[in-house]
Amino acid sequence: MAERSPIVLSVRNLTKTYRSAGEQISVLRGVNLTVAPGERVALTGESGSGKSTLLHLIAGLDAADGGEIRLGEILISKLSDAGRAALRRDRLGLVFQQFNLVPSLNVEDNLAFQARIAGRVDAAWQAELIERLGLAGLLKRYPEQLSGGQQQRVAIGRALAARPVLLLADEPTGNLDEATADDFVALTRDLVARTGCSFLMVTHSTRLAATLDRHVTLHAGLIN
C-alpha cells in the first residue's frame, strides 16, 4: 500500500502556536513538506525552530492549529485521539532522544512490543532485526542495564519491528557520542532501506543530515 502511493507524507500550510507565559509563540507558520516512499529526509534547524513540534504533529502526538498532514490517504490532522493512537501503532515508528523504552520489560519484549500490539509479529524479521542491531547477547537485559547506544538500537528495532510506513526520529543521536551516532545513523539507513519505509529524522547535526537523501531546514517556522 505504501509503495503504491506516490507520496508517503504530505504536510501543507501547517501552523502551531503555543501560549507560554501569556505570550503567543508561533512555532510553525505554514510549513510545507513532502516525503516520498523510501525517501530518507533530515530535518534541521536551530534550537527552538520547531523541529520537534513538527515531528510530534506528524506522529499525532499533538494536534496542529491549521493546515493538514496526510500519511498516504489518511488525513492525520482530522483523526480522533484514538485514531491517531491506532495510526501510530500500525503505520508509524517512533524513536526519541531519551530512548523511552518500557523499563519493566527486557530487551526482547521491548523489541517485539509494538509489533505485538499492532498484531504484526514477524518472527523472521524480528530475528533479522536482532541480528542486524547486534542485540543477540542482550535480549534478557533490562533497559537500565544498557548503554545509550544499545538502548537507541532497541528503540529502532521496536519502531521497525512492525514494518511502519514512516519512521520518525527525534534527535535520536542527541544522547550519543559522535562515533556511536554515526554508527547508529548508518545502521538506521540500512534498516530503513531493508524495510522500504520512509524516514524523517530531526537532528541538529548537519554532518549527519548530509548522510541522508534530502536535507530540509526549518527556519523561523517555515521550511525553505
Partner 1 sequence: MQLATLLIGLISATALWSGVQAINQQARNAYDRAAATFGGTRTAVLVDRNGATFSQSIFVNLRRAGWPVSPVLEGRVQVGGRSFRLLGVEPVTLPPQVGNAPSIVRGALQSFITPPGETLVARETLSDLHLAEGTSPLTSNGTPLPPLRVQPELVPDVLVVDIGIAQHILNKAGELSHLLVGKAQGKPAPLESVVGDKLRLVQPNAETELDRLTDSFHLNLTAFGLLSFFVGLFIVNSAIGLAFEQRLPMLRTLRACGASARLLNTVLVIELVTLALVAGVAGLVCGYFIAASLLPDVAASLRGLYGAQIPGQLVLRAEWWFAGIAISVLGALAAAATSLVKALRLPVLAAAQAYAWHEAQQRWLIFQGAVALAVFGVALALLVYGNSLIAGFGLLATLMLGAALILPAILEIILKLGQRTARRPLAAWFWADSRQQLSGLSLALMALLLALAVNVGVSTMVETFSRTFVTWLNGRLSADVYISASDNAQAIAIRNWLRQRPEVLAILAGARAETHVANQPIELLGLPDHPLYRERWPLLQSAPDAWKRLLPGEAAFISEQLSRRLNLGVGDRIAIPAPGGDWTLDIAGIYADYGNPKGQLAVNIAALIRRFPDTPQTRLGLIVAPDQVPPLIAALRQQFGLDDRSVADQARVKAESLRIFNRTFAVTAALNTFTLAVAGIALLTSLLTLANSRLPQLAPLWAIGVTRPRLAAIELLKTVSVALLTALLALPLGLLVAWCLVAIVNVKAFGWRLPFHVFPLQLFELLVVAMAASLVAALLPVVRLARMQPANLVRIFANER
Residue 10 or 52 having the CB closest to partner 1: 52
Task: Identify the residue whose cell numbers are 513532502.
Answer: 34
C-alpha grid cell for residue 34?
Answer: 513532502
Question: What's the rounded Cα separation, in Å, for the pair 73 and 220?
Answer: 29
Q: Computed over its alpha carbons, how large is the radius of gyration of the chain? A: 17
14 in contact with partner 1 (CB under 8 A): no
> Can you name the residues that pair with 63 across neighbouring β-strands?
none
224 in contact with partner 1 (CB under 8 A): no
* Nearest distance, CB of residue 69 and partner 1, angstroms: 15
36 in contact with partner 1 (CB under 8 A): no
Q: Of these, 116, 120, 189, 215, which contacts partner 1 (CB under 8 A)?
A: 116
Q: Are 92 and 158 in contact (CB under 8 A)?
A: no
Q: Of these, 10, 44, 53, 150, which contacts partner 1 (CB under 8 A)?
A: 53
- Residue 144's closest CA among 102, 97, 92? 102
> Can you name the residues that pair with 122 across neighbouring β-strands?
none
φ and ψ at residue 27, rounded to 5 degrees:
-85, -45
The 3-state DSSP class for residue 201 equals: strand
Q: Of these, 63, 75, 193, 210, which contacts partner 1 (CB under 8 A)?
A: 63
- Interacting stretch for partner 1, rule CB under 8 A, among 98-106, 124-132, 179-187, 188-196? 98-106
88 in contact with partner 1 (CB under 8 A): yes
DSSP-assigned letter for residue 196:
T
Question: What's the rounded Cα separation, in Å, for the pair 100 and 216?
Answer: 26
- Residues 117-156, one symbol each (x = binds partner 1 by CB under 8 A, - = not), give xx----------------------xx-xx-----------
Q: Of these, 10, 44, 52, 151, which contacts partner 1 (CB under 8 A)?
A: 52
Name the residues that contact partner 1, by CB under 8 A: 18, 27, 47-48, 50-53, 56, 59, 61-63, 81-82, 85-90, 92, 94, 96-98, 100-105, 109, 112-114, 116-118, 141-142, 144-145, 158, 170-171, 174
